[in-house]
């Protein structure tokens, strides 16, 4: 088992190396004039606030990102810095990338976590139910709802929710992290928490709406497969009550792939929700990176892309390991 | 083996069925007992028919298929048949209150050189530049004459009547010489009798200047025995003169230009309005209409020029209005000024602009047709200047923006005056096109890579699968956003963007399909038919693409169908963020984006809600069909 993990980890490192090389190549190939004009705009914007000059930004970029050392040499010098956690200063946010990350990551994480927990709690029971009564009205409803969830574009769900709850009913604010009358000095930890929590409701709903379908469908498909298995027939044949057949024999086996996929999606909580956060102007990692990417902030973009790659690889790794751990039938070698 | 057919039994059964059908009429009354292999009991279907049958039994899949058929007909056939295109702008002719004329006092004086030859005199030009400020100085202190000594020159500015000023060079200063007050001697180029005595007393009294014999002498003490003198000599004869006025000259015939020299002649004679004056070889006379408006009549007594304190011009700045309107405007402005009122309205005969030609409507004689309209007067003050705007409703060609749904436009029009329904049809075309192109590209790449990896195994497999892993871990959306912002910076043509977007989505998305194909081929490779294919000595490429790939088809078709929905979602999200397909090309995503502000979102639900529902319906339909196909291909799922 230990050898398996080490092997997978090493493989992931290799994949990360090449994936980042591809991404670095892409960034490296961005037209120089684009990079320069962005840097110039940035310098003129930040000069009022005592920021860096255009040359300082470009020099820093060249230094941290090895843009002047050729593709391969530059990549290694960037990688060397990145491994030490030196991602340079973000152009857009005017602070080190890692500092911006640590500032906003928990907003993203908690938003993702809340949505994830609620999603799991709703999707799994409904998926099991649908599979138990295949081709019944319940099944069709669950299938329909989950397919609609998968098919709805995030921005459409967000816009509808905004229209209904923020514009018509006025229960929530349209976007942002705090209410208009929120004053940081007067707020206690508790009122501040409540205020932020209130602004998380619509984004969380959006995420749940969009994400719930996939999990529901996955549960249903797996449950159906399990219910067709021989050991379920055996369990029924030996006269076990249906509740025990489903709840004990079938459900536990259905859990194997589900736990694997859920475990694999845990690192994704740190990658933020790009579109949802942007639409609701929640100061999370998705929002920060969206504006970095559209604003040509190369350091933060590289940081975000590396983060995304690491999280994807980590997710795969976790689900592989979990699969081996949860299912004793899987031989690790 | 020669006559072996795979569905031998099926063929036999079919034949028997045909025979029985023929014989049915003969012995239909007979109720024969069913045999085990009776076609009424056993019905063997070909795999394709089996799949079709299972697919057709799935209600959701059929619904999805129906939606897709409707969507395709709508977007491809409908777009071709619908009378409007995606970039057809719609106009309507509607009244719009526009400025017709502007009336107000001139903000600065118009200056005329009395002698044209003085035009190039730098001294007089200097006076011309400063004239306005001198007038302001005189107006504020209520003086009628001002003498300004500037350098060596003395200017005199006189007020003739209200709004008419005359300025000329009155005197010139020159060095005269020196004077010794103790000895009483003048050292100068000329001798002036009696000046010495006057100067002595002036120096004693410490005067700065003294007047003698019509000239002014300025005294400047240099030392006890020396006083320097300068003399201001009045200029005799014709003086270099500028006339400045705020009065406006309007000829009775508004097409006629009034000569500047005529204006100068009028202004020179304006002080005494009882006397006729001559200009050229004609004589003219003044006639006061009311306190402000003067009329100048020619010899026959017909009015020739009106003089008014207000300038009335067409809104375009041209002096093309006729005199009756000008006089009407001047009287209204007078009245408003007197009452200190800001608005007024009256009925007047005004011309209408033809909205199509953007010219005035003319009758058959070439005269402008006048119609009665209510003219509104509005006072506007900018930077201390006060002008009165005359406006009325003119029929103009307007872009119909945000029109509510009507018979002409089923879903109304959008903010650019485009027909929303037409844009939905064309947008759907782009969305579906992007979906298909990307999925086909993905599939081609995926099948080739996955096929090679699965078939050859070994290090080829390892290499390709690591490549798949690498592509799998590159996040699509961020990459698309970065490239889109670069495209934005370079203002790439919308069609080119569309092309690049499809290519990139395809290149970034093939890894899933490659994995699927490889997995399938790995298991299929070991099956007997592949060993048979190898034994018959078929070429490798034929074995992969003729024998293996068709067996992967079911899974491939399912994943392609599902993938189509996914690509449409990605495309619409990108377009919604303003990073995908760009204006003026329509897609469903950017149609929603165009009304994404809070106000637009609230007011124009009839634009974005149908579009959102269409995106959703299309993606759902693809998913339904994909789901149905999967169930149909995979009978294991049936209980």
Nearest to B146 by CA among B243, B174, B136: B136
Exposed, middle or buried: residue B14 (CB in 10 Å: 0-12, 13-18, 19+)? middle
CB contact under 8 A, A156 and B612: yes
Mean pLDDT (whole number) for B270-275: 75
In angstroms, the separation between the Cα of residue A124 and the nearest Cα of chain B is: 19
Establish if A32 touches chain B: CB-CB under 8 angstroms.
no
Establish if A228 touches chain B: CB-CB under 8 angstroms.
yes
B487 chain-A contacts, CB cut-off 8 A: none
- Residue A265 sits at φ, ψ, to 5 deg, of -90, -5
Output A325 or B450, whichever has higher pLDDT.
Answer: B450
Q: Is the dihedral of CA B584, B590, B591, B593 positive or negative?
A: negative
| pLDDT for residue B638 | 46
Helix (H, G, I), strand (E, B) or coil at A98: helix
Q: For residue B523, what pLDDT band results from cuts at 50, 70 and 90?
A: confident
Establish if B470 touches chain A: CB-CB under 8 angstroms.
yes
Residue A333 has pLDDT above 70, yes or no: no
- Going through B483-578 in order, the beta strands assigned E by DSSP cover none
Name the residue in chain A with its Cα closest to that of B563: A151
Residue B181, token pair as written in the block:
């007050």
Establish if A304 touches chain B: CB-CB under 8 angstroms.
yes
Exposed, middle or buried: residue B438 (CB in 10 Å: 0-12, 13-18, 19+)? buried
- Say what the ipTM of the complex is: 0.85
CB contact under 8 A, B616 and A156: yes
Helix, strand, coil proportions of chain B in percent (round to 5)? 45, 25, 30
CB contact under 8 A, B619 and A159: no
State pLDDT tens for residues B389-413.
Answer: 888 888 777 887 777 777 777 777 8
Establish if B491 touches chain A: CB-CB under 8 angstroms.
no
Name the residue in chain B with its Cα closest to that of A168: B602
Mutate to test the interface with A, among B434, B470, B503, B604 (most CBs of A within 10 A): B470
In angstroms, the separation between the Cα of residue A220 and the nearest Cα of chain B is: 11
Q: For residue A206, what pLDDT band results from cuts at 50, 70 and 90?
A: very high
Name the residue in chain B with its Cα closest to that of A278: B577
Contact B248, B307 (CB under 8 A): yes
Q: For chain B, first and last CA: distance in Å?
A: 37
Can you tell me the distance from the alpha carbon of B249 to that of A79, in angstroms, rounded to the nearest whole number?
A: 81
Nearest neighbour of A15 by CB, restricted to B60, B470, B576: B470
Can you tell me the distance from the alpha carbon of B13 to that of B37, in angstroms, rounded to the nearest whole number?
A: 8
Establish if B244 touches chain A: CB-CB under 8 angstroms.
no
Name the residue in chain A with its Cα closest to that of B623: A147
Q: For residue B444, what pLDDT band results from cuts at 50, 70 and 90?
A: very high
CB contact under 8 A, B478 and A30: no
- Residue A110 sits at φ, ψ, to 5 deg, of -70, -35
Sequence-separated contacts (24+) of B212-220 with Cβ below 8 Å: B216/B171, B217/B176, B218/B173, B219/B179
CB contact under 8 A, B620 and A147: yes
Output B271 or B102, whichever has higher pLDDT.
Answer: B102
In angstroms, the separation between the Cα of residue A198 and the nearest Cα of chain B is: 20
Residue A118 has pLDDT above 90, yes or no: yes
CB contact under 8 A, A162 and B601: yes
Residue B71 has pLDDT above 80, yes or no: yes
Nearest neighbour of B619 by CB, restricted to A151, A225, A294: A151
Domains of chain B from N-terminus onward: 110-240 (no CATH), 249-267+274-399 (no CATH), 427-638 (1.10.3720.10)
> What percentage of chain A reaches a pLDDT higher than 90?
9
Output A31 or B612, whichever has higher pLDDT.
Answer: B612
Output B353 or A172, whichever has higher pLDDT.
Answer: A172
Mutate to test the interface with A, among B63, B469, B471, B473 (most CBs of A within 10 A): B473
Please state the length of chain B: 639
CB contact under 8 A, A14 and B466: yes
Mean pLDDT (whole number) for B519-526: 84
In angstroms, the separation between the Cα of residue B637 and the nearest Cα of chain A is: 7
Mutate to test the interface with B, among A16, A35, A293, A300 (most CBs of B within 10 A): A293
Can you tell me the distance from the alpha carbon of B275 to that of A112, in angstroms, rounded to the nearest whole number?
A: 95
Of A14-18, B26-30, B472-476, minimum mean pLDDT range: B26-30
Give the contacts of B137 (CB within 8 A, at least 6 positions apart).
Answer: B146
In angstroms, the separation between the Cα of residue A150 and the nearest Cα of chain B is: 8
Can you tell me the distance from the alpha carbon of A214 to that of A219, in angstroms, rounded to the nearest whole number?
A: 9
State pLDDT tens for residues B3-45.
Answer: 555 567 777 878 888 888 777 666 555 556 666 666 665 566 7
Residue B501, token pair as written in the block:
């977007």
CB contact under 8 A, B601 and A163: yes
CB contact under 8 A, A15 and B473: yes
Name the residue in chain A with its Cα closest to that of B58: A135
Can you tell me the distance from the alpha carbon of B466 to that of B453, in angstroms, rounded to the nearest whole number?
A: 11
Nearest neighbour of B482 by CB, restricted to A19, A227, A293: A293
B608 chain-A contacts, CB cut-off 8 A: 159
In angstroms, the separation between the Cα of residue A48 and the nearest Cα of chain B is: 24
CA dihedral B382, B388, B392, B394 (to 10 degrees): -50
Exposed, middle or buried: residue B459 (CB in 10 Å: 0-12, 13-18, 19+)? exposed
Residue B639 has pLDDT above 50, yes or no: no
In angstroms, the separation between the Cα of residue A234 and the nearest Cα of chain B is: 16
Helix H or strand E segment including B313 = strand B310-314
CB contact under 8 A, B481 and A294: yes
Establish if B275 touches chain A: CB-CB under 8 angstroms.
no
> What percentage of chain B reaches a pLDDT higher than 90?
5
State pLDDT tens for residues A35-71.
Answer: 777 777 766 665 555 566 777 777 777 766 666 677 7
Helix H or strand E segment including B155 = strand B153-161
The vertex-B239 CA angle with B234 and B243, nearest 5°, equals 130
Helix (H, G, I), strand (E, B) or coil at B415: coil
Q: How many CB pairs under 8 A join A and B?
A: 136
B579 chain-A contacts, CB cut-off 8 A: 294
Mean pLDDT (whole number) for B311-334: 80
What SS3 string covers B249-306?
EEECCCCCCCCHHHHHHHHHCCCCCCCCEEECCEEEEEEECCCCCEEEECCCCCEEEE
In angstroms, the separation between the Cα of residue B485 and the nearest Cα of chain A is: 5
Helix (H, G, I), strand (E, B) or coil at B183: coil
Residue B465, token pair as written in the block:
């699968």
What residues 568-607 of chain B have any CB closer than 8 A to a CB of chain A?
A: 569, 572-573, 576-577, 579, 589, 592, 596, 598, 601-602, 605
- Going through B366-422 in order, the beta strands assigned E by DSSP cover 370-382, 385-399
A296 chain-B contacts, CB cut-off 8 A: 485-486, 489
Exposed, middle or buried: residue B536 (CB in 10 Å: 0-12, 13-18, 19+)? exposed
Mean pLDDT (whole number) for A175-179: 80
State pLDDT tens for residues B126-174.
Answer: 788 888 888 888 888 888 888 887 777 888 888 888 788 888 888 887 7
| pLDDT for residue A330 | 67
């Amino acid at each position: 088992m230990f050898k398996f993990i080490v092997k997978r980890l090493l493989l992931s490192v290799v994949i990360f190396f090449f994936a980042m090389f591809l991404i670095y190549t892409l960034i490296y190939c961005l037209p120089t004039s684009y990079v320069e004009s962005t840097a110039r705009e940035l310098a003129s914007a930040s000069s009022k606030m005592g920021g860096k000059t255009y040359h300082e930004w470009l020099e820093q970029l060249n230094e941290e990102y090895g843009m002047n050392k050729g593709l391969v040499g530059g990549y290694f010098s960037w990688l060397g810095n990145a491994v030490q956690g030196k991602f340079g200063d973000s152009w857009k946010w005017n602070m080190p990338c890692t500092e911006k990350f640590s500032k906003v990551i928990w907003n993203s994480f908690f938003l993702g976590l809340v949505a994830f927990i609620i999603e799991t709690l709703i999707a799994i029971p409904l998926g099991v139910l649908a599979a138990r009564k295949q081709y019944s009205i319940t099944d069709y409803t669950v299938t329909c709802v989950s397919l609609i969830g998968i098919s709805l574009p995030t921005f459409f769900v967000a816009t509808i929710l905004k229209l209904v709850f923020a514009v018509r009913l006025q229960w929530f604010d349209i976007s942002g992290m705090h209410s208009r009358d929120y004053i940081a000095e007067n707020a206690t930890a508790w009122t501040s928490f409540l205020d932020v929590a209130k602004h998380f409701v619509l984004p969380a709903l959006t995420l749940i709406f969009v994400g719930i379908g996939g999990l529901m469908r996955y549960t249903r498909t797996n449950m159906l497969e399990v219910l067709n298995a021989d050991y379920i027939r055996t369990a029924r044949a030996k006269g076990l009550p249906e509740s025990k057949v489903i709840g004990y024999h079938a459900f536990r086996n259905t859990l194997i792939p589900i736990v694997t996929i859920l475990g694999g999606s845990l690192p994704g909580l740190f990658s933020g929700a790009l579109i949802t956060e942007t639409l609701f102007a929640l100061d999370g990692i998705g929002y920060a990176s969206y504006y970095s990417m559209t604003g040509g902030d190369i350091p933060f973009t590289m940081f975000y892309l590396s983060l995304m790659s690491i999280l994807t690889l980590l997710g795969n790794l976790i689900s592989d390991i979990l699969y081996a751990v949860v299912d004793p039938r899987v031989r690790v070698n | 083996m020669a006559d072996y057919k795979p569905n031998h039994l099926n063929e036999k059964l079919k034949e028997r069925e045909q025979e029985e059908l023929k014989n049915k009429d003969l012995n239909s009354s007979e109720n024969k007992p069913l045999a085990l292999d009776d076609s009424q009991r056993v019905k063997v279907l070909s795999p394709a028919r089996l799949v079709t049958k299972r697919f057709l039994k799935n209600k959701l899949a059929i619904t999805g298929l129906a939606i897709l058929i409707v969507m395709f007909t709508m977007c491809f056939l409908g777009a071709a048949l619908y009378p409007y295109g995606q970039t057809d702008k719609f106009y309507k002719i509607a009244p719009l209150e526009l400025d017709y004329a502007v009336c107000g006092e001139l903000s600065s004086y118009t200056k005329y050189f009395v002698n044209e030859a003085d035009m190039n005199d730098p001294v007089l030009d200097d006076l011309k530049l400063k004239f306005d400020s001198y007038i302001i100085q005189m107006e504020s202190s209520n003086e009628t004459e001002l003498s300004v000594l500037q350098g060596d020159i003395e200017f005199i500015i006189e007020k003739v009547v209200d709004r008419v000023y005359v300025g000329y060079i009155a005197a010139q200063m020159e060095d005269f010489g020196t004077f010794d007050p103790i000895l009483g001697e003048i050292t100068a180029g000329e001798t002036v009798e009696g000046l010495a005595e006057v100067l002595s007393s002036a120096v004693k009294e410490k005067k700065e200047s003294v007047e003698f014999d019509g000239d002014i002498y300025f005294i400047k003490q240099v030392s006890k025995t020396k006083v320097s003198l300068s003399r201001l000599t009045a200029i005799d004869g014709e003086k270099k003169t500028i006339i400045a006025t705020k009065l406006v000259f309007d000829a009775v015939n508004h097409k006629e230009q009034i000569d500047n020299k005529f204006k100068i002649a009028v202004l020179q004679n304006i002080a005494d309005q009882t006397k006729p004056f001559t200009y050229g070889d004609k004589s003219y006379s003044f006639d006061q209409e009311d306190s402000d408006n003067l009329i100048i009549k020619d010899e026959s007594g017909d009015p020739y020029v009106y003089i008014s304190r207000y300038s009335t011009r067409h809104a375009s700045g041209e002096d093309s209005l006729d005199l009756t309107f000008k006089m009407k405007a001047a009287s209204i402005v007078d009245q408003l000024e007197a009452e200190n009122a800001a608005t007024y309205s009256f009925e007047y005969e005004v011309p209408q602009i033809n909205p199509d030609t953007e010219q005035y409507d003319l009758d058959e004689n070439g005269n402008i047709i006048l119609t009665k309209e209510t003219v509104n007067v509005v006072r506007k003050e900018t930077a201390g200047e006060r002008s009165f705007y005359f406006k009325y409703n003119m029929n103009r060609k307007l872009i119909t923006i945000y029109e509510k749904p009507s018979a002409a436009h089923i879903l109304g029009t959008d903010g650019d005056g485009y027909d929303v329904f037409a844009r939905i049809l064309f947008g759907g075309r782009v969305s579906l096109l992007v979906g298909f192109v990307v999925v086909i590209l993905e599939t081609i790449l995926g099948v080739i890579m996955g096929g090679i990896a699965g078939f050859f195994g070994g290090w080829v497999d390892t290499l390709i699968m690591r490549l798949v892993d690498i592509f799998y871990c590159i996040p699509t959306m961020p990459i698309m956003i970065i490239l889109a912002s670069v495209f934005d910076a370079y203002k790439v043509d919308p069609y080119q963007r569309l092309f690049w977007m499809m290519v990139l989505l395809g290149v970034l998305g093939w890894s899933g399909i490659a994995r699927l194909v490889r997995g399938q081929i790995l298991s299929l490779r070991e099956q007997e038919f592949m060993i048979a294919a190898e034994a018959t000595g078929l070429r490798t490429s034929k074995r992969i693409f003729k024998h293996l790939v068709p067996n992967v088809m079911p899974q491939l078709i399912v994943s392609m169908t599902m993938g189509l929905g996914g690509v449409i979602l990605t495309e619409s999200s990108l377009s919604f963020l303003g990073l995908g397909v760009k204006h003026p090309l329509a897609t469903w995503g950017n149609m929603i984006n165009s009304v994404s502000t809070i106000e637009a979102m609230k007011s124009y639900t009839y634009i974005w809600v149908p579009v959102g529902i269409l995106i959703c319906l299309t993606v759902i339909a693809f998913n339904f069909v994909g789901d149905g196909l999967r169930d149909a291909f995979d009978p294991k799922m049936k209980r």
